[in-house]
């Protein structure tokens, strides 16, 4: 069992203000695999004061020099890649091979990319008689989720450090152990004291203390928030996968199911609404059912496993409740259901589920489920498909499939969402990630993510 009894504050591992702890569970076995400190507002205050004291000195270091630190962090993550991927597989349930590629590979790429990205930022430019300069925001509070725990940390911490900000991080209490490994690497590379601080604990206590602290200049939050200052929010999604009549239908449907079920559906940008021509609904159901039934849940450490457990008992019950709600509202259950997968009664497992004949007003069409549940909605015209895609409080992601890529792009431009995959276009960790409407505010990743941590100043000459 991994016992973490210290917080990382001001360049040292320090005792928390109290001895209360939080258990971390293995999502496959439901056994306790570790404990972390349950931090307090006093711990947060100590960390923020350290970050404030370190800010001026860190901001004076050149951006390329700061990026050298993030490159060394990337190297350290690479050395411990196997260890971290196995740890996250236990915390979150991501199949271990996928965990290495996504849960650790993406954070490595994000930290490493800062060396190139800082050269893309116009740190100074002349506009008329003004010199416009870009400076770091200040002290950043980063509050991160459990579904892609280290990736979401990297998406905030890497650009914040490269921008010249100092950071206080609160990782998710559900999957926090990987963050402690990151803090160890920060210490090993000699990051100046106070530049990065880690305070674990609950949202109502530690998260609230960070968002309300007067010395925090910016909060970068993934989840949902209450904060009266500059914020960057990456929130929920209910993304539409629009399959046009001329698309490669078999590939579009099967890839769409796979992208819906990625990380057991615990992905904010998951393509959870599949829109298909009404006259091909039966065909879509057959392909989706076949793909879903091939996605057999299992132990994340088994190489054959494509879908692991959900992260917690609470999440399992939430997803099962939505499946039952879909049945009660009259959606057609194509495959899956509320019962646990055969032989997997222990662990936080859910059957991969596909609904069809879903109406726009159903809860499973409108609300984020965060599990392996797909809703197939039929449409009659292209305009109706776009209308259905936009009929959501969210706007984080989406997809369009067509034999004519230019046609797909024209449709994608009409969808009110932060990113759209065209014919299965792959995720780009350097492209801006963020949403419209209630899917958030601001952008993460690449130079767009770094610019979120900068203020703009005009010097009139």
CA distance 10 to 52: 10
- Please count the residues of the chain: 461
CA distance 277 to 179: 45
Find tokens 């259901």 and name the residue: 337
Question: Which residues lie below 8 Å from residue 275, measured CB to CB, with a gap of 6+?
Answer: 240, 241, 242, 243, 376, 377, 378, 379, 385, 388, 389
Query: Among residues 165, 268, 285, 368, which one is catalytic?
Result: 268
Residue 116 backbone dihedrals phi, psi, to 5 degrees? -85, -40
Both tokens of 206, joined, read 């530690």
Name which of 358, 353, 360, 374 is nearest 272 in CA terms. 374
Query: Among residues 91, 205, 208, 234, which one is catalytic?
Result: 234
Residue 260 is among the residues annotated as catalytic for this protein: no
Both tokens of 30, joined, read 């439901």
Find tokens 């016992």 and name the residue: 3
E strand or H helix that includes residue 275: strand 273-277
CA distance 323 to 371: 10
| Angle (CA) 106 260 98, round 5° | 35
E strand or H helix that includes residue 222: strand 218-222
Q: What is the DSSP letter of 101?
A: I
Residue 188 is among the residues annotated as catalytic for this protein: no
CA distance 427 to 423: 12
Find tokens 């059957």 and name the residue: 351
Name which of 347, 230, 323, 314 is nearest 272 in CA terms. 323
Pairing state between β 332-335 and 166-170: unpaired
Question: Which residues lie below 8 Å from residue 94, measured CB to CB, with a gap of 6+?
Answer: 88, 102, 103, 263, 264, 300, 308
242 Cα distance to chain centroid: 23
Residue 135 backbone dihedrals phi, psi, to 5 degrees? -130, 155
Quick one: CA dihedral 256, 259, 264, 270, positive or negative? Answer: negative
228: exposed, middle or buried (Cβ count in 10 Å: 0-12, 13-18, 19+): exposed
List, by residue number, the catalytic residues: 234, 268
């Amino acid at each position: 069992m991994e016992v973490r009894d210290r917080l990382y504050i001001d360049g040292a591992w320090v005792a928390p203000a109290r001895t209360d702890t939080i258990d971390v569970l293995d999502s496959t076995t439901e056994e306790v695999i570790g404990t972390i400190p349950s931090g307090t507002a006093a711990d947060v205050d100590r960390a923020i004061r350290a970050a404030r004291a370190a800010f001026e000195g860190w901001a004076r270091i050149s951006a390329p020099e700061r990026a050298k630190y993030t490159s060394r962090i990337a190297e350290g993550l690479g050395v411990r890649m196997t260890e971290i991927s196995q740890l996250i597989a236990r915390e979150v349930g991501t199949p271990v091979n996928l965990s290495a590629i996504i849960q650790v590979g993406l954070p490595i790429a994000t930290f490493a990319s800062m060396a190139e990205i800082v050269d893309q930022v116009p740190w100074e430019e002349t506009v008329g008689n003004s010199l416009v300069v870009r400076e770091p925001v200040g002290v950043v509070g980063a509050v991160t989720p459990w579904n892609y725990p280290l990736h979401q940390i990297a998406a905030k911490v890497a650009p914040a450090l490269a921008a010249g900000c100092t950071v206080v991080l609160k990782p998710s209490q559900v999957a926090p152990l990987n963050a402690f490994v990151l803090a160890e690497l920060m210490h090993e590379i000699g990051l100046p004291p106070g530049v990065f601080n880690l305070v674990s604990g609950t949202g109502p206590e530690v998260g609230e203390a960070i968002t309300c602290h007067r010395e925090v200049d910016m909060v970068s939050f993934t989840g949902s928030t209450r904060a009266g200052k500059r914020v960057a929010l990456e929130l929920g999604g209910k993304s539409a996968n629009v399959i046009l009549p001329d698309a490669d239908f078999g590939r579009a449907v099967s890839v769409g199911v796979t992208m819906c079920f990625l990380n057991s559906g615990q992905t904010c940008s998951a393509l959870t609404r599949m829109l298909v021509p009404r006259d091909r609904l039966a065909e879509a159901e057959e392909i989706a059912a076949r793909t879903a039934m091939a996605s057999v849940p299992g132990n994340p450490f088994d190489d054959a496993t494509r879908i692991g457990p959900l992260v917690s008992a609470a999440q399992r019950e939430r997803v099962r409740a939505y499946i039952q709600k879909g049945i009660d509202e009259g959606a057609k259950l194509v495959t899956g259901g509320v019962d646990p997968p055969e032989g997997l009664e222990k662990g936080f497992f859910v059957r991969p589920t596909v609904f069809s004949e879903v109406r726009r007003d159903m809860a499973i069409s409108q609300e984020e489920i965060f599990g392996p549940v797909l809703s197939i909605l039929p449409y009659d015209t292209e305009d109706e498909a776009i209308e259905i895609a936009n009929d959501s409080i969210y706007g984080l992601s989406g997809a369009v499939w067509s034999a004519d890529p230019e046609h797909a792009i024209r449709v994608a431009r009409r969808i009110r969402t932060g990113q759209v995959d065209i014919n299965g276009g792959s995720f780009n960790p350097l492209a801006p990630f963020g949403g419209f409407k209630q899917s958030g505010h601001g952008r993460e990743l690449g130079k767009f993510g770094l610019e979120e941590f900068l203020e703009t100043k005009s010097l009139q000459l």
